[in-house]
Structure 1
Amino acid sequence: MQQKSRVSHHNDEGTQHKRSSTDESGKSCELTFGSYCIWRQQHREDMKDAMIKKLKDQLFVARAYYPSIAKLPTQDKLSRQLKQNIQELERVLSESTTDADLPPEIEKKLQKTEVTVAKAKSFPVDCNNVDKKLRQIFDLTEDEADFHMRQSAFLYKLTVHTMPKSLHCLSLKLTVEYFKNPYDKEAEAEKFVDSSLHHYVIFSNNVLAASAVINSTVTHAKESWKQVFHVLTDEENYYAMKLWFLRNKYREAAVQVLNIENLHLDNPKMEISAPLSLPEEFRVSIQSAMSQTRTEYMSIFSHSHYLLPDIFSKLKKIVVLDDDVVVQRDLSALWTLSMGEKVNGAAQFCSVRLGQLRSYLGEKGINQNSCSWMSGLNVIDLVRWRDLGLTQTYKRLIKELSGQEGSMEANAWRASLLTFEGKIYPLDDSWVVSGLGHDYMLDTQALNKAAVLHYNGNMKPWLDMGIPKYRSYWRKFLNNEDQFLSECNVYS
């Protein structure tokens, strides 16, 4: 089961972080493969199976000299020996991939080949022939290495874009259990429309991720009874989510699970014709004045976010949390935040101005000096949103941009930036630290002080590919005692 719209929309122009790795040729690896190269650098292991490597090296040299020796009429015996050695090494390597697989007499075979190759080197041969053969073999080896590099990068990307087997198991077991045993409907339904309470909205198709967000928020809340969480999910995960939040309680907070694909809105013009879409993430490259290039993962609202004013038509204000965040501080101060005429309180990155993103967003319609902003933690004034008709503005922009060049995702990104241009209230830097899903070098002191940690990037904390030193911030908010986690081998 693949995750929907996680980190799949990458723009790869000129991207090399100053801390990223390079391949053996010195070329930028992140330029092509993104976070895979950072992950590979961190997980590089010492070479094993030294004997296998020696055999391959000897086979490489023997193949290079054989054509020239075979052309010498007086060296038929040496030619046969060299050919025999080559065939023996090829057979051994076809049957063995590690030193443990090699036959006992392999040392003698290697010595025999070394002696034969030494004899071949002692004869005057056409250097051009040897050089030509060496280059031919080298090119084949380089092609093979490049193939394996691309294959491993593809498997890495497949891993980060696919729901882990254990989480898929968890969702299935919860769904089956929901239909096996009837459960009561959510209590305290009146809380879900009480605008005097603190309402949080989470878009998610991942039970554990949504649970960690809610648990971390409630854990640090001074008044948990004021907190109401609305989890918007899809048809596939709806019943699993519903059962999980019926089985697990979060102090005095109320949790509502909604199937976004089956909502009936008061506004007939706002029909839900598209499935759940999670926040879009883009990998972008920024060139500094000193000719250094850095990579950022920018997350932005998806199509589903523009349904919020109609889904929650009775609410005045909400806080939207991405499901890849962890809360470390009481968020009640956000509800007394005075945003003036602004609509969206968000983390801004003025080190990344829209003018620096021209290659992604185009030249027209964007204020080049405006700062970029992120989803993750967003304070939304729904009253102001409705008054300004921002949902209609977004839909109009999407329609206009659809006839222009660029991918659908890039057009959605540009439409979001245009929709909220001049309407962003910049949150203080202490509210959010982002980059835990791609940046290995974040300041630990800043992480500990931040109210919200955002795991934007490929390396989500619920994946094996997640950055190990950041996982503990997320793991401590899992309910490790739940029987379904044990049955599905979901370990924290």
Structure 2
Amino acid sequence: MKGGVAGGSYSGKRRWKGLVIGVLGLVFLSMLVPLLFLLGLHNGFHPPGYVPEQRNSPSIGGYGTKIIINASNLLGGGGSKHVDDFVKNFTPTLSKDILKNISHKAENETKNISAVHNNEQASVVHNNEQASVVHNNEQASVVHSNEQSKVTAGVSAPPHDGPHSLPIENNSKAGDSAQIIDYAKGGVDQSGKSCELKFGSYCRWREQHREDMKDAMVKRLKDQLFVARAYFPSIAKLPSRDKLSRELRQNIQEVERVLSESTTDVDLPLQIEKKLQRLQASIAKAKTFRVDCNNVDKKLRQIYDMTEDEANFHMKQSVFLYQLAVQTMPKSHHCLSMRLTVEYFRSPLDNTDSSLADKYVNRAFQHYVIFSTNVLASSVVINSTVMHAKDSGKLVFHVLTDQENYFAMKLWFFRNTYKEATVEVLNIEQLNLDNRKLYLSLPLEFRVSYSIDAQSRTEYLSTFSHSHYLLPEIFQNLEKVVVLDDDVVVQQDLSALWSLNMEGKVNAAVQLCSVKLSLLKSVLGKNSFDKNSCAWMSGLNVIDLVKWRKLDLSETYKKFVTEGTTQEGGNEAAALHASLLTFRGLIYPLDGSWALSGLGHDYNIDVYPIKKAAVLHYNGKMKPWLELGIPKYKSYWKIFLNREDQFLSDCNVNS
């Protein structure tokens, strides 16, 4: 009996313990289920494997930045309309009677409400019987006007490959001096001014190359998803609307699942239109009930912040890619250079006629010098000059290039003839000048930003590089040369330059008097100079080598380069500093009709001055042989391109 009683007591204790465990389990589950429900609301009921949209602060370090939301077309032609349509999706649907009642109140406020573009903020209160629109300065659903400057404000350029040249900044007041940016190296202004000043011609190029919005359906789905998420918390709190809550949640989950698997319209399933219609129908039902404005406010702020980040990122990325495109040799041009080099070694050229060697040093001929690494560019310069020359037999061209492009240049000018003109190709790295190791440097370009009468202006300077100051040593037997940049096109006979009386000056150049040297005092330092003197341009320059040697300007240049390198800005800025000071009082001003500059960055040049100019200078980043070149100026360059050469067809050169 004792054993039986003991066994029954033990069994009762087990049942009691099991009951306690069961009760504790139920209590735990009752706490867990609401917690999971709340987490589901917060996360928007994301299915497994879905990466939710989130605010991202992208870095500008280069490639590899991961962006969850694809807003690359916000800067495109339909970007602003897309945002406006999205904002309209949040507006609840009002009945005709209600709209009629509030129309008189709305008339006086339409000017202030336009595009939600001011500091007035709105809260919209809805119920089943009536609705009223209340505008005040206390509640906010969208704060747009004071913050939108963050999107439109200029951003600094992302870094680029190659040697960097820091901008030369001045510490004086605006209007007294200018900020010089190394335009050739892609430097940008840090002043935060307008887009045109900030990125130069890139802004103009972007306006002409806007594209229609892509993947419009994906963007519509994302917009509707944001609207649904904004209304769902309010609907879920209404006990009598469980059916609508479940319907809205299910539609949200379906769209989230689709977006987790598809990023473009092509990847979307066939039934996506029906899914979108069901979601829109659920949203329309939700709009008929009173909503919590805080939820709408949070969602609008979230999409605004994410859009702002995306816009800034894509602005920086597009500027970086633009600079990369204009600084990189096109694939077809690289192919041409490689094919010419390979062909040169397959069939070595015959020794040139000894009579040509005599022409190279004969002072009776007209000698032109071109520094270039671009086969097509230098070919167009020579061809355009010869086509307009009265006597092409008097022309001798000296093309100075580097070791990498020497053989391609050599073969090209051997295969192509330019009437009776003579072309000599020199490898500057093989020249023996006092046993010094020489390297080729091309003409330098800078952007100058300054303010006059409270108006910001931008000009572009092109000037000599270090290689130009070797001219007296390279051509020791010559007395005068004309230096042409490889981004020019000649439209008239230049023989008059050889009879030009330079009045004892060394360098005849077109001056840019919109940029006075007084604006460049931060670059020129404490050296003495005439503040009213104009900056001069490379592109077309007549050089008196006799006077140059007499004044020993090469040594003067070296001294100023040493002085300039101690300042901020690097070697390129030192070259600008030294060039402007070396030729103080030694510039002979050519008439402006001799050379017209700006065709590589200025969209507003009229046709008349273009046709009148003897030389067209494509200074700027938009060179005519690049796809990014300004289209309406390309034809003046293309007509002098020899398209009959087989290598151009083989490499698909379509410049």
Q: Is the 8 A contact 1:9 1:280 kept in 2?
A: no
The superposition leaves residues 332-391 of structure 1 with CA deviations (integer Å, 9 ceiling, x where unpaired) of 000000101211111101121122234555565443221011110010011111111111
Residue 284 of structure 1 corresponds to 448
* Structure 1 residue 271 corresponds to structure 2 residue 436: yes
Residue 23 of structure 1 corresponds to none
Q: Which of 593, 611, 621 pairs up with 1:448?
A: 611
How far apart are 1:409 and its partner, in Å? 1.8
Residue 68 and residue 314 in structure 1: after superposition, are their counterparts in 2 closer, same or farther (change >3 A)?
farther
Q: Which of 183, 186, 206 pairs up with 2:374?
A: 206
The superposition leaves residues 60-113 of structure 1 with CA deviations (integer Å, 9 ceiling, x where unpaired) of 322333455556666565444444433433443455455454333222111111
* Structure 1 residue 248 corresponds to structure 2 residue 416: yes
Residue 44 and residue 395 in structure 1: after superposition, are their counterparts in 2 closer, same or farther (change >3 A)?
same
SS in 1 for 2:448: strand
Structure 1, unmatched stretches of 5+, are 17-27
* Structure 1 residue 64 corresponds to structure 2 residue 230: yes
TM-score scaled to structure 2, two decimals?
0.69
How far apart are 1:401 and its partner, in Å? 2.1
Question: What residue identity is the alignment partner of 2:385?
Answer: T
* Structure 1 residue 155 corresponds to structure 2 residue 328: no
| Identity between Structure 1 and Structure 2 (%) | 67
* Structure 1 residue 170 corresponds to structure 2 residue 333: no
Aligned ranges for residues 187-202 of structure 1 at < 5 Å?
187=353, 188-202=356-370
How far apart are 1:467 and its partner, in Å? 0.6
RMSD: 2.3
How far apart are 1:230 and its partner, in Å? 0.5
How far apart are 1:412 and its partner, in Å? 1.7
Q: How many residues align?
A: 475
The superposition leaves residues 5-41 of structure 1 with CA deviations (integer Å, 9 ceiling, x where unpaired) of 982253525586xxxxxxxxxxx32343322211010
Residue 84 and residue 337 in structure 1: after superposition, are their counterparts in 2 closer, same or farther (change >3 A)?
farther
The superposition leaves residues 182-205 of structure 1 with CA deviations (integer Å, 9 ceiling, x where unpaired) of 212333111111112110000000
1:250 and 1:467 mapped to 2: Cα distance?
A: 27
* Structure 1 residue 107 corresponds to structure 2 residue 273: yes
Question: What residue identity is the alignment partner of 1:278?
Answer: L
Q: Which of 178, 190, 198 pairs up with 1:32?
A: 198
Q: Is the 8 A contact 1:13 1:31 kept in 2?
A: no
1:35 and 1:86 mapped to 2: Cα distance?
A: 44
Mean CA deviation greater in 390-399 or 108-117: 108-117
Residue 3 and residue 447 in structure 1: after superposition, are their counterparts in 2 closer, same or farther (change >3 A)?
farther
TM-score scaled to structure 1, two decimals?
0.90
Higher Cα Rg, which structure: 2
1:15 and 1:245 mapped to 2: Cα distance?
A: 47
Q: Which of 515, 519, 525 pairs up with 1:356?
A: 519
Q: Which of 579, 593, 610 pairs up with 1:416?
A: 579
Q: Is the 8 A contact 2:564 2:573 kept in 1?
A: no
Mean CA deviation greater in 354-363 or 115-124: 354-363
Q: Is the 8 A contact 1:277 1:302 kept in 2?
A: yes
Mean CA deviation greater in 161-170 or 84-93: 84-93
Point out which structure has higher relative CO (alpha carbons under 8 A, 6+ apart). Answer: 1
Aligned ranges for residues 9-48 of structure 1 at < 5 Å?
9-14=186-191, 28-48=194-214
2:162 and 2:425 mapped to 1: Cα distance?
A: 19
Residue 384 of structure 2 corresponds to 216
Residue 467 of structure 1 corresponds to 630
1:36 and 1:388 mapped to 2: Cα distance?
A: 42
Q: Is the 8 A contact 1:353 1:369 kept in 2?
A: yes
Question: What residue identity is the alignment partner of 2:350?
Answer: D
Question: What residue identity is the alignment partner of 2:187?
Answer: H
Q: Is the 8 A contact 1:9 1:282 kept in 2?
A: no
Residue 381 of structure 1 corresponds to 544
Question: What residue identity is the alignment partner of 1:248?
Answer: N
Mean CA deviation greater in 84-93 or 449-458: 84-93
Question: What residue identity is the alignment partner of 1:367?
Answer: D
Residue 530 of structure 2 corresponds to 367
2:248 and 2:198 mapped to 1: Cα distance?
A: 41
How far apart are 1:115 and its partner, in Å? 1.9
Question: What residue identity is the alignment partner of 1:277?
Answer: S
How far apart are 1:224 and its partner, in Å? 0.7
Mean CA deviation greater in 397-406 or 302-311: 397-406
Residue 398 of structure 1 corresponds to 561
Residue 358 and residue 79 in structure 1: after superposition, are their counterparts in 2 closer, same or farther (change >3 A)?
farther
